[in-house]
Structure 1
Amino acid sequence: MTAGAALTTRSGRAVPAAPFTHLVRLTDDTGLFEHARHATVRREHGYCTDDVARGLVVTSRELDPSAEVLRLAERYLAFLTHAQDTDGAFHNRLDFGRTWTDQPGLGDWWGRALWGLGTAAARSPLRWIRQEALLAFTQGAARRSTDPRAMAFAALGAAELLRADPGNEPAAELLADAAIAIGTPGPDPQWPWPHEKLTYANAALAEVLIAAGDLLDDPPALTAGLRMLTWLLEIQISDDRLSVLPSAGWQHGGPRLRHDQQPIEVAALADACATAATLTGDQIWHTGVRRSIDWFLGDNDVGQVMWDPATGGGYDGLTLHGPNLNQGAESTLALISTLQHRTPG
């Protein structure tokens, strides 16, 4: 979902439109390459369903996609349907020789595949993409993962479908089961999180509870999700700027590190805040979206931009000494996803 983020940062920098240039560079006729050395594709590392699914999310979310963006969506959809087995599970890793190197499973990549398929089924301007994505989503939505985070990613796709088709029963059942799998906040105000460790893309879990509360008419879930997201946003603000949890995560009762910060954390927070802003209209969530955008544009702990305007690529992480200048798929997709919440006026 998109929310009303400003066209300029707090320091007056212009907010660019979401760039697809590097995503095109990372994509061939098969799929989306996972890694890059600076802006140069590393073909030897192959493709993964995780990134292709996120590619389908951002290409499907474009309000007025160009022909080039639509072609990307077509390739990503073809990759995901090829990755899916007859039982609804998905392969994750395809090498450059076009051979799957793993068995189909129900890990995070299954969840993200359903996120991409649900988004395409709900939002693509092309009818045939919507139809094909719905078929694959429905097949995958019959399965359940034992991992709450995989369930959360899948539920984001289910929520997209329910907004477009409130009567979609497989999507409603998946969203409800995901909310149960995520759990609810505990009583401790210092740690109102359902789990003992914060890992990655944490805001996605809060977003699912918020979506379940709204779409399934479940006020307690909505309250729980907003409470989780409020805390998550508060603990990631430092000196009035966003300072997201590092790749090592944060264990309840343990020390909190500041680096390396990953763009996926920022993108997940932007998405969740945008959803909360749409439902509540509260300024705190609009501010959360803006701070997420600002993080990429240099309003972060190191004060350096986290993307390359010359290539359109997002940098892979923020270290104590500045950005990791590699521009892989995950970080570039996080940049695009966050900037999609930029709205004119």
Structure 2
Amino acid sequence: MSTATPGFRHLIRLSDDTGLFEHARHALVRRQHGYCTDDVARGLVVATREPRPAHRLTRLAESYLAFLTHAQDRSGAFHNRLSFDRRWDDQPGVGDWWGRAMWGLGTAAARSPVPWIRDEALLAFTAGAEQRSPHPRAMAFAGLGAAEVLRADSDSSVAAGLLMDAAEAIGAPSENPSWPWPQPRLTYANAALAEVLIAVGELSDDRLRLATGLRMLTWLWDVQTRHGRLAVVPAAGWRLDAPRPRFDQQPIEVAALADACATAARVSGDQAWQERVRRSVAWFQGANDADALMWDPATGGGYDGLTEHGPNLNQGAESTIALISTMQHARRLP
């Protein structure tokens, strides 16, 4: 198992003055695929939750914030895809990219050590909070941003309203003890749904929602663990009473688990959640179904998925940020 740390090297490689490129062939940027709000927002999350960022990382945060404010229209919705020639390929909307933009902006508003970044991010977050999405996951991502704002400013009615609406959009878990989850299918970044309920419980002193979120996360962890190692639901998803494929496992699922378990550890005080963060870190370091290192020590890039033949060696933005995000939690473990 590798003891090296990836840092931000590959994220810097994937970025330019405009934003963050979505795809790479191995470590080489594929400019023809352009940029997307989804990944820029993820980049803003990891860049601004560093407590003492180097100057280069602060410059990345500035670039990502400028991208998101450029992507936002007057209604608070966001474009998602920008081509390499700086033309938007879509109309503004409130899909997952809106939710992730709100997560990135909320994190920057709450955590950036740079005052003007906090101020500008909060302006854009407030404008985006005028919107709601019909998609539960988009609402969950936005709820994570709202929780960040509320932890910094408990009087923010804008953030409180968005967080509560996110919890309502996620819904209550099924009463089926074999599937205590609010949706009939597990897909991607599943742990974000449980994390939002935990955050609501924490920030509104709602013990029922806190217990529900912790119970959902415990079940999700258990069904994604095999022989003491993480074996996460693959890209194809999984439905109750259906065969469960083993591959292609995605780093985003591991990163979402690490985020949620770190929140659960802080809110509940239960040290078992810290051990689950460690196991999430270990998945990237080789404690997975292929015994494979899931990042490239030569570049610092995260591999794009775990297949039955081993890692997908492409090192795109989503997987690299999932790696960085998880390792941020590793540095905070006692």
Interval of TM-score (by shorter of Structure 1 and Structure 2): over 0.9
Could you tell me how far 1:15 is from its partner in structure 2?
5.6
Aligned length: 333
Give the whole-Å Cα distance in 2 for the aligned partners of 1:200 and 1:244: 10
Matched, 1:113 2:101: yes
Q: 2:31, 2:84 within 8 Å by CA — same for their partners in 1?
A: yes
1:44 maps to 32
1:8 maps to none
**1:1-345 counterparts in 2 under 5 A?**
13-14=2-3, 16=5, 18-343=6-331, 345=334
Deviation track 1:151-185 (CA, whole Å, cap 9, x = no partner) reads 00000000001001000111000000000110111
Work out the percentage of aligned pairs sharing the same amino acid: 69
Q: 1:90, 1:109 within 8 Å by CA — same for their partners in 2?
A: yes
Q: 1:33, 1:41 within 8 Å by CA — same for their partners in 2?
A: yes
Q: Runs of at least 4 residues of structure 1 off by over 2 A?
A: 13-16
Q: 1:15, 1:342 within 8 Å by CA — same for their partners in 2?
A: no
What secondary structure is seen at the aligned counterpart in 2 of 1:158? helix
Tell me, which stretches of 5 or more residues in structure 1 are unaligned? 1-10
Tell me, which stretches of 5 or more residues in structure 2 are unaligned? none
Q: 1:81, 1:136 within 8 Å by CA — same for their partners in 2?
A: yes
Q: 1:176, 1:216 within 8 Å by CA — same for their partners in 2?
A: no
Could you tell me how far 1:14 is from its partner in structure 2?
2.5
Give the whole-Å Cα distance in 1 for the aligned partners of 2:271 and 2:4: 19
The alignment's TM-score, normalised by the length of structure 1, stands at 0.95
Q: 2:12, 2:60 within 8 Å by CA — same for their partners in 1?
A: yes
Q: 2:4, 2:297 within 8 Å by CA — same for their partners in 1?
A: no
Give the whole-Å Cα distance in 1 for the aligned partners of 2:298 and 2:59: 22
Could you tell me how far 1:142 is from its partner in structure 2?
1.1
Give the whole-Å Cα distance in 1 for the aligned partners of 2:331 and 2:101: 27
Q: 2:102, 2:145 within 8 Å by CA — same for their partners in 1?
A: yes
Read off the aligned partner of 1:284 and give its amino acid letter: A
Could you tell me how far 1:280 is from its partner in structure 2?
1.1
The alignment's TM-score, normalised by the length of structure 2, stands at 0.98
